[in-house]
Amino acid sequence: MGSLAERSGYDVGLHLLDRQIIGSDDRLAGKVDDVELLVEDDGSLVPTALLTGLPALLPRFGPGLGGALARAHRLVRAASADQDLPLVVDFDLVEDVTSEVRLSEPALGLLRRMEPERAADDRRCRVSRLVGLPVRCAALPRRSRVLDLRLVGSPGGRGEHRVTALVVGPGRPGALLGYDRSSEPGPAVVAAVVRRLHRHARVVDLGAGVELDRVAGEVRIGPEASLAPLRG
């Protein structure tokens, strides 16, 4: 995949999660274990930070295993009260995204611990809390869910990133391989099989007809919503 600065959009799970974070000094700052989003008053989702460290990674294993691992981590690090909070990198520092996430500032001394007040702010959520949410939509197969979130914006442009769409579908095997999207073609035979499995996946633009209900833990999509086949 080429520079995302040359692309009109990219997907958080496919293009950001688990990639190395490299500072302008070519030092490793960590890896992207999750992404923090700010829910604005109009419902818009704005990425505000890259999260790194076990407190960001463990919850991605789900409420069962992830919760147990997180509790074990807190017990091991009980002497440090803030160790259950992830380390934070401001999203505005993302300069480019290729096979790694490049920052506009040096990595040395850049990471900081998330403040408890920020962690408790109900206007903020993590991508991992949205991916996997069940989707209610008459035009989609049963058991559809959120597979990924699509971002637009120019890396290096402060405050310009926005989540503009959800990638939704039945969530069959291969969702995280990227072969279902033309940006990650992969081996031709494998790509063809995965795309066949994901033929029902759709990109749903956020806006009219789309309600992301974090309290109920589901996404409701009405007939007026814009659904498009999954491409790129």
Rounded distance, CA 95 to CA 101, Å? 8
- Among residues 67, 94, 127, the one where a domain terminates is 127
In a shared domain, residues 201 and 180: yes
Give how many domains the chain has, as a whole number: 2
How do residues 138-160 score in pLDDT, each as one tens digit? 999 888 999 999 998 766 555 57
Rounded distance, CA 176 to CA 180, Å? 9
Query: Could you tell me the residue range of the domain that residue 80 belongs to?
Result: 4-127
Q: Could you tell me the pTM of the whole model?
A: 0.80
CATH at residue 58: 2.30.30.240
Amino acid identity for residue 13 in this structure: G
In a shared domain, residues 217 and 136: yes
**Is it the case that residue 8 has pLDDT exceeding 90?**
no
In a shared domain, residues 13 and 114: yes
How do residues 190-231 score in pLDDT, each as one tens digit? 455 445 556 678 999 999 999 999 999 999 999 999 899 876
Beta strands of the chain (E only): which ranges? 10-11, 20-22, 28-31, 34-39, 45-52, 87-90, 94-97, 101-103, 112-113, 124-126, 135-136, 145-152, 162-169, 202-205, 210-213, 218-221, 227-229
Residues 157/46, Cβ–Cβ less than 8 Å: no
In a shared domain, residues 118 and 15: yes
- Among residues 68, 102, 127, the one where a domain terminates is 127
Buried b (16+ CB within 10 A) or exposed e, 190-222: ebeebbebbeebbbbebeebbebeeeeeebebe
